[in-house]
Homo-oligomer: A and B are copies of this chain.
Amino acid sequence: MTHERGAEAYLQIGDAAERTELTQRTLRYYEEKGLLKPPTRMDGGFRLYSAEDIERIGRIKQLKDLLGFSLADIKEMLEAEDVRSQIKAEWDKDADAAEKAERIRAARQMTLKQIALIDQKMRQMAEMRALLAERLAKHDALLLQWTGEPTSPVSEPVGAAS
């Protein structure tokens, strides 16, 4: 069952695990490692994950599976990113502008690095895709030669970054 708390809907760990396609163990592990802030709890101690929490978990999966970062790296990144929400939260009190700017700059750098990495990987993938398409053509040629076979066409490759 999905829970409610004020206006928001919360998931307990089983549903959250299902939603994110991770295990409960993994969620607890991420929390233990500091990648997830301790979620709110029910009176009995059951964890309740907010929509934000779920999003963050998705973000972790992306960084891990898609870009191949270690959990330690991801932790650093998320901490750097949190600067935005943190600053918004304490925006008026303690208006130490210089330090805030510095932290935003750091977050910006993180983002730039991630974008650069994505671009690099996408280029390499495009390259690799081209090679695989060639190889596929060779296989198809052989199959046609030996067994007069119908071979499905290769879908178009994707454009690469400059």
Contact = CB atoms under 8 A, between A and B. Distances in A.
Interface of A: 62, 65-66, 68, 81, 84, 87, 97, 100-101, 104-105, 107-108, 111-112, 114-115, 118-119, 121-122, 124-126, 128-129, 132-133, 135-136, 138-140, 142-143, 146-147, 149, 154-162
A126 B122 CA distance: 8
B125 A111 contact: no
Copies in the complex: 2
Q: Chain A's interface: helix, strand, loop or mixed, by majority?
A: helix
A139 B97 contact: no
Contact of A159 (B111, B112, B159): B159
Contacts of A114: 132
Contacts of A138: 84
A66 B128 CA distance: 10
A38 to B, nearest CB: 25
B84 A122 contact: no
